[in-house]
Amino acid sequence: MENISKVEFILQTLKKMFPDAHCELVHKNAYELIIAVVLSAQTTDVAVNKVTPDLFSKYPTPTDLANADLSDVEHCIKKIGLYRNKSKNIVTLAQKLLDDYQGEVPQTMEELVTLPGVGRKTANVVLSEWFKIPSIAVDTHVERVSKRLGLAYKKDDVLTVEKKLMKKIDKNSWSLSHHLLIFFGRYHCKAKNPSCSECAFLEICKENNKSFS
Ligand code: SF4
């Protein structure tokens, strides 16, 4: 790690580990992406990708979803967690897109967070992934690994973690860094049983492998 900062070391290492880090939620447009991200709360992208083909073939536009029968939507996504609440959210989200945004997904954080079920994390994913506006979405993986790697304190809330990452990481790398940290959390530094014995960050890790032995 000589001559480079800790954050550069982390990002360079993660780029080598995950050269193909990307958004794993399957989507064709901003509408599909925002719905998929809302559905992904407290479940996996793999689980979401199993229900969205059917959902988007039945409701290909915000207008179709806004006019959907709630029980039909529930039936469509019932294999994922919290499906009742999520069904209500995505139908009202589609209605709000029609009422307030001419059926288009808005492109600002301020507008995105007015949509049902959409918080900063979801908004940041949409801004970054679809609109290519540099953003760092802090989900459970990003929060956990940022704290383990000492990029944020254990006590920091998600907004503080987001601000610290934005300060430490070059703006041009925000979106890629978000994917790299997610892949690291999803496939290596998992919440339970992280792969500490083969980790390049043992020396800097705040938890270090003793916690998991
Ligand atoms: Fe994660 Fe373990 Fe590596 Fe620390 S040493 S960053 S906990 S995998």
Atom of ligand 1 nearest to the CA of 188: 8
Global pTM value: 0.93
Q: What residues flank ligand 1, with Cβ below 6 Å?
A: 148-149, 188-189, 194-196, 199, 201-202, 205, 207-209
User: What spacing in Å lies between the alpha carbon of 200 and ligand 1's midpoint?
Assistant: 8
Atom of ligand 1 nearest to the CA of 199: 3
Beta-carbon contacts of 30 under 8 Å, excluding residues fewer than 6 positions away, are: 104, 105, 126, 130, 131
User: What spacing in Å lies between the alpha carbon of 7 and ligand 1's midpoint?
Assistant: 15
Answer whether 189's CB lies under 8 Å from 143's CB: no
pLDDT at residue number 180: 98
For a mutational test of ligand 1's pocket, the pick from 6, 186, 201, 206, i.e. the residue with the most ligand atoms closer than 8 A to its C-beta, is 201
Q: What is the DSSP letter of 115?
A: S
Q: Is the pLDDT of residue 95 over 60?
A: yes
Q: Is the pLDDT of residue 1 over 70?
A: no
Helices (H), the chain: 6-17, 30-39, 45-58, 62-66, 70-77, 83-101, 109-112, 120-129, 140-148, 158-168, 174-187
Nearest Cα to Cα of residue 90 among 61, 127, 111, 49: 61
Identify the band that residue 121 occupies on the pLDDT scale cut at 50, 70 and 90.
very high
User: What spacing in Å lies between the alpha carbon of 53 and ligand 1's midpoint?
Assistant: 35
pLDDT at residue number 207: 85
Answer whether 97's CB lies under 8 Å from 31's CB: yes
- Identify whether 121 is a catalytic site residue: yes
Task: Give the closest residue (by CA) to ligand 1 atom 1.
Answer: 189
pLDDT at residue number 213: 41
- State how far the Cα of 113 lies from the Cα of 189, in Å rounded to an integer: 30
Q: Which of 6, 86, 121, 170 is catalytic?
A: 121
- State how far the Cα of 7 lies from the Cα of 179, in Å rounded to an integer: 15
pLDDT at residue number 208: 66
Q: Is the pLDDT of residue 129 over 60?
A: yes
For a mutational test of ligand 1's pocket, the pick from 144, 205, 208, i.e. the residue with the most ligand atoms closer than 8 A to its C-beta, is 205
User: What spacing in Å lies between the alpha carbon of 201 and ligand 1's midpoint?
Assistant: 6
